[in-house]
Each structure stands twice: as C-alpha cells, then as structure tokens.
Structure 1
Amino acid sequence: MGWKGRRVVLTAVMGRVKGDGRGNDDTVFMEDEVKREEYVMNEQGKVFVGAYKQSRGRPWAFGQFDDVVLPVAVYLLEISRIADPERGNPVKVVNSSDESGVLSGRWDGEYSDGVAPYKWSGSVRILEEYVKSGYQPVKYGQCWVFSALVTTVCRALGIPCRSVTNFVSAHDTNSSLTIDKFFDKQGEEIEGGPDGENYDSIWNFHVWNDVWMVRNDLPPGYGGWQAIDSTPQEESDHKMQCGPVSLVAIRRGDIGLSYDAPFVFAEVNADVMHWGEDKDSEWGWTRLKMNKYHVGRAILTKGPGKDDDAGEGDQEDVVNEYKNKEGTTSERLAIHNAIRGSSRAMQYYNFKKDVKEDVTFDLIEIEKIIVGRPFQVKVVVRNDSDQPRKVHAFLNSRSLYYTGVSVSHIKKAEGTFVLKPKASQDVAMTVQYSEYWKKLVEHCMMKIYAICRVEETGQTWTDEDDFTVEKPRLEIKIQKEKEVRVRKMCEATFSFTNPLDVPLTDCQLSVDGAGLMRPRAITVKNDIAPQAKFTHTMRFLPRVHGQRKVIATFNAKELFDVSGSKTLTVLKRE
C-alpha cells in the first residue's frame, strides 16, 4: 500500500473525514514539512539512553509502514473501547485504557522466560510476536522500548510523535513537587518518610513521548506538543496512564490543567530536598539541603532532518520546551506558580534558612569510563575558615539499574583528616576493572556517593554522581554500498573488538531494517576470545528503494547492548 492509500486508511481510523488533511479540521496536522517528515514519515530513528553526561542514541527501526503495524494499531483502538465518533479526537486516542498492553514490563534483570529489553532493535519484531502469541503481551520491555513502540503506533495512525528522554527524572509519589529524603536524629534514612507514603525516587533517565495536536479541551494557547507516558508510574483517573499534558502548561507551571500535569512537572522540575528530624519545627522536620538544579538536566530527542550513524550529532535538547532556563527568574516563577497549586508543596517549601558553612566540597564528575579500564572517585575539600577543621569522609560506589534501584556494592573507602586554615586536600578512591565488571547490569550504570562531616561545626555535605561505562560501537559495512538495489542480493558485515579480558559467550545478533529485511535474531555459534575481533556477515534482499538504515545490536552474557547502525541508499530495480 502506498502512502496515499495508507492516508485514506489513517483518515478513517482517526475519524477525519472532512477536507484534505490540511485544514482546521485536522487536529494533528503539523505544518512544518521537515518536522512532518521526521515525526510522521521517518521509519527509523534513535531512543536516547544512558547517564546525563554520557547519553547515547540507541538506533531503532520504527517501521510504521510495515504490514503488521496498522492492523495492530486498529486492534488496539478496538480493545480500548473508544467509540467511533471519538476516534477523531487525538486526546482520546492517546489516553486510552491500560488493559491488554502489547509489552510486559520488567526491571529486575530476570528475563529467562522472554526477551531482554536490550535485545530489541525495532518495533516490527515485537508486534509480530504480539500477533503470533494471540495478542498476549510480549515479554519484556522497559520505558525506552515502550516509547519506541508508541512512536511506531502513533506515526502509523498519522499522529506526529517523537520519543523524548528526560535525564535525571524525578518520581514524585506524594504531589509535593519535590524529591524528599528524610533522616532521623542518628542520620539514618527513614524509608517511606514520616507518613510511610513517601517513596520518591530519581531515575537516571526516563523515556516517554511527545505527540502533536490541537487541545480544544483546554484554553487557547495550550496546543502543540503534548507529553504522554506509556510507562505510567501512578494511577490517573483510576487507570495506569499519563497524559496528554501540554508542554506549554508544564513550562508555565499550570499544574491544574489536564492531564497529569503535576506529575510531569515534577519529573523535569522537582527540587531535591533532604530533611532532618526537628522537634522545634511546626511539622517536626527541618530542611538540611536543597538542590534546585539536579532534576531534568536534559531532554533529548532525535532532531528533525538529522542523521548520525557514527555519533550523537543528530540529538536535539528540547528541555527549553519543558521549562525555562535553570536559575532564571522565569524558571523560579514557574516553580512558585506550581507550588501555589499544591498544598503539600507549600508545606514542603516552608523551611528554615540554611546554616552558614565554612568548608567547601567538590565532587569531581567522571567524564568517561571505557569498559575494561579503572576509574577514580575524587572529592576536593577546602577549608575557608581561619581555624583547623577535622573532616570525616566516606566514598562509596554501587552498580544500579537505570531506574535508580541499587544492584551491588562495588567499593567503599573512608577516612579522617585535619585541614589547616585556607588549605585544601583531595580525597580519592580508585576502582579497578576487576572490582566492578562482574557487578554491572544492563546500561552499565554506576553511582558514586560522597558524604563528609566537619567535626567542629557539625556541617554535613553529601553529593552523588551517576555515569555509564562506555562500550564499543558495532561497526556495519555494506559490500558494494553504491550498487545496492531493490531485489538484488547484498551483504552486510558486523564487527567490533571484544574489550574484555574474558571470552564472550552465549552471543546473539539482532538485526532490523525497515524496507530492507525482516527483523531477525541470529545466534552466534562461537565464543569471542578476549581482545579478539567479532565479525559476522549476512545477506539480505532490499524491498524498498530510497534511504534506508540497517540497525543491529550484539548481546553476550558478559557484554550486552553493543549497537550500531548504517544508512544506505537503495536504488530502484533495474
């Protein structure tokens, strides 16, 4: 089916029966042609994952024009029980029932009865499995896989859609618009907070979607990009769903507008607060620390019309569409505007002023760690007072899932030293490759904590840093690249060098490419020796001409999610 034929079907599905799709009757029409080509027509792209300072675009084959996609999209509309007249309302279409999902989510690393999320390289294979299983949820996905699948379905329905990744994403459980940690008088964290209902958390990254639409249900000016989350973390209207919520509303702090504005606002704006027991406080707690600029560090998506197989030159940071620049008057005004809409937030922001501190601490951020190499945790301590200061320091490193859940302790160090007036000293801990590599899980993320206390003043300082261990890139080469044609057999070679000092076992290669081949999972029979080069060649028969992309991911027991992509131009059949 060509695009003109597909457009007729999409119009019927969405209930748009008037006009040519370019008038005021089209509530999801995007006027900018470059953006329309990217957010509706582009069959491949990237989903950004990793840590804030080390983000990477994971190639993904959306494949929204594959034969399996539109029937599944229509089926999902049917089981969502959206009435036919309401299918022309994009708010109803993207905010449907949470039952009978396509994917089951899992975050504990146990995927033996399904496919690990990091082994997927495109949406078509997932949707094929969904149909083959009798429309039972496919195992397994996580937020970035859910988001990629939503991108496929929305684009198939003609709704402009982009996958967006919020780095350092807050999960506010009690509508305080803050991420709160409570500590008793002994300095121990109180799980659940004082009321037992506070389980705030911070994810290293969280991926959702923006969809483009008119919002006739809201006051004028709130149309355009709307956030929807296919991995909702709280119930909304008695369903596990989130959005659509206007990005304009989020930026302004208008959290009283539909749908789920307070939750999304907190995801990108929440201030991180530490609280200590205080019997003299009106509600029993005093704020120890507040970090205003930790959450929502970057919100990345693939830029329209950009494409970079070798790096991250195609990323676009849309954080300014979600919030004003950190530290500006307008940014703080949006926060205070939101606070006025939440009685819990007003209570949490009513705090005592901070105590003056005379020792400064600086946790040196880790820029880059290559798998197989050591890294160092370092804190620079400076005594700004005219008196000696005795400092107790504690450093700790742990592996964790991208949701912020701790997995394994890696290494810790502690010590006490005296700083002379106006003097400074480094506190450091070196972690060897042999100490961390067996404890890494998917995304290879680690967190380092630093806690220091000044004995004479009682000053306490804490900080943390998240980072990922960088893996090699999967290289893809096409034989006779300039001669690739429709229905003419060609070859692709995939390769990378094993960076570890142990062999790679249980190896598998997942390959996808909309218009080039059916998605496939290839079992690699031989192990990859330490420091050896992996090479695999496969043949395929291109089906569609034009610019196409091969997307692949290599996974082994010891090293996983080594991905790469290659763009090529397929000529018409001779």
Structure 2
Amino acid sequence: MTSDTDVTMNYKGSLEDSNCHQTEYLSLLNDEGIGSIELNLSNFQNISIDKPINGSLTVINKSQIEQTVNAQIQVDLTSYTGLVITHVYLYEKMLIIRSKQCQKIEFSIPSEYFCNMFMEDWNISIIAFAKVLHNNERFYTQQILTLLKPILSIKKLLQKDLITSSTDKEEFQISLANSLNILLTNCEIRIDGTGLTFNDSPILCGSIEAYNTLTITTSAIRKTNLNERKIVAVFNCDQLKNVRTYLISN
C-alpha cells in the first residue's frame, strides 16, 4: 500500500530545524557505487515567477529485492552561495518498488507559492531525498535553477549619437526587456559608475507591460579621467529585486 502526504506551505519559522534535517540526510549518504536506489529529477527550463514549476522525480530500485522507500521533494529559495533563504514547498510519498523497477512522482508548484518571495536575486533549489525503510539507506539529488528575469543592458552612446555634446559628460542607453508574461510595477533603475556622477539615479520607470521593452537615456558627469570605467545598473520592481548588469567603458 502506498500513501502520500502533501505538506506544501510557505513558512520560515521551521528553517533551522529543516536545515538540521537536511544536513542529517546529506551526512548519511552511502559511498558512491554501493547504493541500492537511484534518484533522477527531470530537467527544468525557463523557470519564471509567472508560471508553475512542473517536474518529476524517478526513483529506481537497483537492488535484488522489493524495497519500501520514503521519497521527499523539497523546494527552497537559495542565495548564490547556496544558503537556504526560505522554504517554498515540501512533498512526501511512500513508495513500494519491486526489484529493478522504478516509480515516478510528478509534482507541480503553483507560481503564487514563490512569486512574491524574491526580495533579492535568489535562485531556486530542488532537492529530492529518499530513505530505504528496512536499512535506513539515504540518498539525495539536487538541481539549482536560475529564474528567468527581465533582460537589463547598458550601452555607451558614441559622440556622434549624443543628445548633448560636452567634454565632461558621458551618455548611456539603458534597455529593460520584460520577457515575462506579467506586468512589472513600480519599476526603477539605479545606475552608478567609476568616476562618474549620475544625477538622475534612481530613474523611476512606472510599469512595464508583458513582453515590452523600456529604453531610456541617462547622462553622467565625469569626476576623474580614467582609461576604463565600470558602470553598474540595478533594476527593481514589485515583483523582482536586484536584477543587475554592468558595462566596462573605455
């Protein structure tokens, strides 16, 4: 008999306990090559805040006997260093798998579970755990997913393209392509550069319609004479934070 429990939730209070639980799983993994269970997560592409995350976990019993396996799928938001920021989703199912057979678990995480959580430029971690009940063998596999984001770009305008001509001024064109199927609201762009002063930063952009591109021109006063400058732009809106790009300018 199989049973499954959907314990999906948005929560932060149990983060410490869950991290300890995850550490226990990772520390008890079998040596490579002698494990009786194999875990395969499906490939995830074009993960976006406006779409659900659909995927599957295949659990393969490589042993010569039938095995009862407790399988879990855990989804977290993580920093670029891999630190768990908050939990998004947890799904658990008990499987009875015959020798040399496999079972697939399909799951879908609605976008509303995570779309309002991106306070920084975070990634999504999907981890699958499996525990063999009769001998406590434990296994895991993980994928780190990068969220599909608006495309931010900077281009320095050449002297012939400048709106105003000045020896101590540089002008830049900033483009923001909304590649998502949602309206981005309360948009702003902050820009800074080495040895430059941007007097109009932050630039308030209002809203950007789905699949539309915003293009603006901004100018900076040169404070120092440098052969090379780094210009950094950061985009924020209600839906996403700290989408960054940079330009090395001569």
User: Do residues 568 (structure 1) and 249 (structure 2) align?
Assistant: yes
Contact 2:149/2:180 (8 A) holds in 1: no
Shift of the 490–359 alpha-carbon distance from structure 1 to 2, 3 Å rule, reads closer
Q: Which residue of 2 aligns with 1:45?
A: none
In terms of fraction of residues, the more helix-rich structure is: 1
Cα displacement (A) at 1:447: 2.7
Larger radius of gyration: 1
How much is the aligned-residue C-alpha RMSD, in angstroms? 3.9
Contact 1:372/1:433 (8 A) holds in 2: yes
Contact 1:401/1:441 (8 A) holds in 2: no
User: Do residues 460 (structure 1) and 200 (structure 2) align?
Assistant: no
Q: Which runs of 5+ in 2 are unaligned?
A: 1-14
User: Do residues 554 (structure 1) and 232 (structure 2) align?
Assistant: no
Q: Deviations over 1:431-479 (max 9, x none)?
A: 3434421233312322323222334444333444443314233111233
* Counterpart-to-counterpart distance in 1, 2:16 and 2:221: 59
Contact 1:399/1:406 (8 A) holds in 2: yes
Contact 1:445/1:467 (8 A) holds in 2: yes
Shift of the 567–400 alpha-carbon distance from structure 1 to 2, 3 Å rule, reads closer
- Amino acid corresponding to residue 509 of structure 1 in structure 2: I
Q: Deviations over 1:91-117 (max 9, x none)?
A: xxxxxxxxxxxxxxxxxxxxxxxxxxx
TM-score under structure 1 normalisation?
A: 0.34
Give the percent of matched residue pairs that are identical in Structure 1 and Structure 2: 20
In terms of fraction of residues, the more strand-rich structure is: 2
Contact 2:127/2:141 (8 A) holds in 1: yes
**Which residue, out of 492, 495, 499, partners 2:175?**
495
- Amino acid corresponding to residue 507 of structure 1 in structure 2: C
Q: Which residue of 1 aligns with 2:70?
A: 392
Q: How many residues of Structure 1 are paired with residues of Structure 2 in the alignment?
A: 230
- Amino acid corresponding to residue 86 of structure 2 in structure 1: V
* Counterpart-to-counterpart distance in 2, 1:465 and 1:492: 37
**Which residue, out of 462, 469, 489, partners 2:147?**
469
- Amino acid corresponding to residue 557 of structure 1 in structure 2: D
Shift of the 489–470 alpha-carbon distance from structure 1 to 2, 3 Å rule, reads same
Q: Which protein, 1 or 2, shows the higher relative CO under an 8 Å CA cutoff with sep ≥ 6?
A: 2
**Which residue, out of 366, 375, 397, partners 2:53?**
375
Cα displacement (A) at 1:413: 2.9
Q: Which residue of 2 aligns with 1:34?
A: none
TM-score under structure 2 normalisation?
A: 0.70
**Which residue, out of 86, 111, 121, partners 1:407?**
86
Q: Deviations over 1:526-558 (max 9, x none)?
A: 222233222221123445252333221111121
Show the 5 A alignment for 1:113-132. Answer: none
* Counterpart-to-counterpart distance in 1, 2:42 and 2:205: 43
Q: Which residue of 2 aligns with 1:438?
A: 116
Contact 1:473/1:563 (8 A) holds in 2: no
Cα displacement (A) at 1:494: 0.8
Q: Deviations over 1:490-511 (max 9, x none)?
A: 4312111223344323322211
Q: Which residue of 2 aligns with 1:318?
A: none
Shift of the 514–381 alpha-carbon distance from structure 1 to 2, 3 Å rule, reads same
Shift of the 436–291 alpha-carbon distance from structure 1 to 2, 3 Å rule, reads farther
- Amino acid corresponding to residue 61 of structure 2 in structure 1: N
- Amino acid corresponding to residue 391 of structure 1 in structure 2: V
Q: Which runs of 5+ in 1 are unaligned?
A: 1-188, 192-198, 203-271, 276-286, 293-355, 570-574
Shift of the 550–357 alpha-carbon distance from structure 1 to 2, 3 Å rule, reads closer
